[in-house]
Amino acid sequence: MEEAIVLYPTPAIGHLISMIELGKLILTHKPSLSIHILIATAPYSGGSTASYIATVSSTIPSITFHNLPTVTLAPNFAASTPNHETLTFEVIRLNNPNVHQALLSISESYSIQAFIMDFFCSQSLSVTSQLNIPAYYFFTSGATSFAYFLYFPTIHNTTTKSLKELNTTLNIPGVPPMPSSDMPKPLLERTDKAYEYLLNSSLLAPKTAGAIINTFEFLEPKAIKAISDGLCMPDSPSPPIYCIGPLIADRGDGSDSGHECLKWLDSQPSKSVVFLCFGSLGLFSKEQLKEIALGLEISGKRFLWVVRNPPSGQSQNLALSTQHEPDLDSLLPDGFLDRTKERGLVVKSWAPQIAVLSHDSVGGFVTHCGWNSVLEALCAGVPMIAWPLYAEQRSNRVVLVEEIKIALWMHESYSGFMGADEVEKRVRELMDSEEGDSVRKRVLILKEEAKAALSPGGSSHVALAKLFESWKKSQAAF
Ligand code: UDP
């Protein structure tokens, strides 16, 4: 019987892209395998997953997508939660019978070697253990975040308070200290439904056959060692980890090449443009958009900026509902587009980020610190300004600025608002100061180390070989 691997990403574009890249990486080393990807329907938008999936299906015949039937959320469920994480967990939970069915159907024709699920799909472990299929977590963020996720049950057991009330610094031996307020948003509030789901995912980690992390040894050596040494889960054995990154989307097919912003970048001087883009879900209020515009204008620097409509209703700061094209004239200060037209370009809603970051004219990146964005900037050798918005991005900022030193800190007000003066100051600092030079030099070193990690004999290459070995052992154990 032919052998197959089943991948189960969450339906958010950032998670989906790295899972598909993992599938492509596996195929490069094991071309005889079939890869099956289970796709649950997302209750939110934020970047088109459909066109991405269509491109992958049409270009890689060994990858087959299985669309799971749409599940029905309880009435008002989406409106009752401020977190897209809760929606994701609920969709995954409701999909368990569909996952069961899909695995049975795939196993009629293939011997399933491993089931690799996003950390957010942990509830499917009950299905895979019923079917005796070795299951692995895939953690699409970094090792430091994973270390804190593994440590989270320990924190939970040592206090009855919510993290947002603790006002302390969390310390796992060997891992960069983390202010409790910088932990991922859904972990801050104990009564939050997402808190419970994430706690459960952490507690289930020892029951997996291992965790695959999208990072590499040189990038996060301390966190990787702490997890491997079992320091993050004092009460139970940590799962083996496989750091196989950096995995970023391969857009070598040239599909993005016609985009207007790339043509515009062609006309800009080398390393002169600051790129501002905030992931698949990041949104700003109208007031915040105006401050960014003013900051960019007074900085005098060249910029390329992706602007979306402000959030509406329940969606808070996330693109949880269908986004319409923004009306730039009404959102940005009067005359801004005209006054900056010689040195700035505003793109509506979405830009081909990887192609932009790889363009020679781009010299800096203001990012929401989503892990894919971080790795994409790192692989392109572009230094960053860290402006976290949601999920684990605040802890990513701590790691990027204080540990890896490839980004500058942006100082928001207590409410999270960023004034024009702060935008201006950081943009100039990145492009014109010694601090900016220092993060630029450091990111170029990381760029080379990332290549080395993926090359034969490199740490990620070796970790992948160990992962393949573990499939064999897990199969034998079942
Ligand atoms: N992205 C893009 N264009 C945009 C916004 C986002 O191509 O205008 C891509 C980006 O390159 C990255 C993904 O969407 O691959 C976002 O993933 P990330 O982990 O950075 O953030 P998330 O959206 O998951 O918060």
pLDDT, residue 235, reads 87
To which H or E segment does residue 116 belong?
strand 110-118
434-454 vs 371-380: helix crossing angle, rounded to 10:
90
Q: Ligand 1 mean position to 104 CA, how many Å?
A: 33
Per residue of the chain (478 residues), give pLDDT as tens: 899 999 999 988 889 999 999 999 999 999 999 999 999 987 665 556 888 888 899 999 999 999 999 998 888 887 777 677 888 899 999 999 999 999 999 999 999 999 999 999 999 999 999 999 999 999 999 999 999 999 999 999 999 999 999 889 999 888 989 999 999 988 999 998 899 999 999 999 999 999 999 999 999 999 999 999 999 998 889 899 999 999 998 765 566 778 999 999 999 999 999 999 999 889 999 999 999 999 999 999 999 999 999 987 654 544 544 568 899 999 999 999 999 999 999 999 999 999 999 999 999 999 999 999 999 999 999 999 999 999 899 999 999 999 999 999 999 888 889 999 999 999 999 999 999 999 999 999 999 999 999 999 999 999 999 999 998 876 665 5
- Helix, strand, coil distribution of the chain in percent, nearest 5: 50, 15, 35
Helices (H) and strands (E) in the chain, counts: 20, 15
Pick from 260, 353, 368, 394 the residue to mutate for probing ligand 1's pocket: most ligand atoms within 8 Å of its CB: 353
Residue entry with tokens 């469920």: 77
Pick from 120, 280, 362, 376 the residue to mutate for probing ligand 1's pocket: most ligand atoms within 8 Å of its CB: 280
Residue 16, both tokens:
């989906």
Report the distance separating Cα 467 and Cα 476, nearest Å. 14
Tell me the ipTM for this assembly.
0.99
Q: Ligand 1 mean position to 431 CA, how many Å?
A: 23
Report angle CA 440, 445, 447 to the nearest 5 degrees: 90
Residue 216, both tokens:
């590499």
Q: Ligand 1 mean position to 206 CA, how many Å?
A: 30
Q: Are 34 and 64 in contact (CB under 8 A)?
A: yes
Q: Ligand 1 mean position to 355 CA, how many Å?
A: 12
With CA atoms as reference, report the closest residue to 307 among 298, 291, 412.
Answer: 291
Residue 406, both tokens:
């490839």
Report the distance separating Cα 318 and Cα 308, nearest Å. 11
Q: What contacts 105, CB < 8 A, 6 or more positions away?
A: none
Q: Are 85 and 194 in contact (CB under 8 A)?
A: yes
Q: Ligand 1 mean position to 77 CA, how many Å?
A: 26
pLDDT, residue 52, reads 83
Domains and CATH numbers, the chain: 2-248+452-477 (3.40.50.2000), 256-451 (3.40.50.2000)
Atom of ligand 1 nearest to the CA of 391: 25
Q: Whose CA is nearest to atom 17 of ligand 1?
A: 14
Q: Ligand 1 mean position to 32 CA, how many Å?
A: 31
13-29 vs 371-380: helix crossing angle, rounded to 10:
60
Q: Specify which residues 110 forms β-bridges with.
A: 2
Give whole-number Cα distances, 26 to 201, 354, 450, 459, in Å.
25, 22, 18, 16
pLDDT, residue 322, reads 53
Q: Whose CA is nearest to atom 11 of ligand 1?
A: 353
Atom of ligand 1 nearest to the CA of 390: 25
Report the distance separating Cα 428 and Cα 432, nearest Å. 5
Q: Ligand 1 mean position to 50 CA, how many Å?
A: 15
Atom of ligand 1 nearest to the CA of 389: 25
> Strand ranges (DSSP E) for 188-259?
210-213, 241-243
Phi and psi at residue 380, in whole multiples of 5°?
Answer: -95, -5
pLDDT, residue 473, reads 77
Report angle CA 456, 477, 112 to the nearest 5 degrees: 65
- Find the length of the chain: 478
Q: Whose CA is nearest to atom 6 of ligand 1?
A: 279
Q: Specify which residues 218 forms β-bridges with.
A: none
Report the distance separating Cα 219 and Cα 145, nearest Å. 13
To which H or E segment does residue 266 belong?
helix 260-266
The one-character DSSP state at 403 is: I
84-94 vs 96-107: helix crossing angle, rounded to 10:
50
Report the distance separating Cα 139 and Cα 93, nearest Å. 18
Residues with CB under 6 A from ligand 1: 12-14, 17, 47, 249, 277, 279-281, 306, 350-354, 370-373, 376
User: How many CA atoms within 13 Å lie on the side-chain side of 393?
Assistant: 22
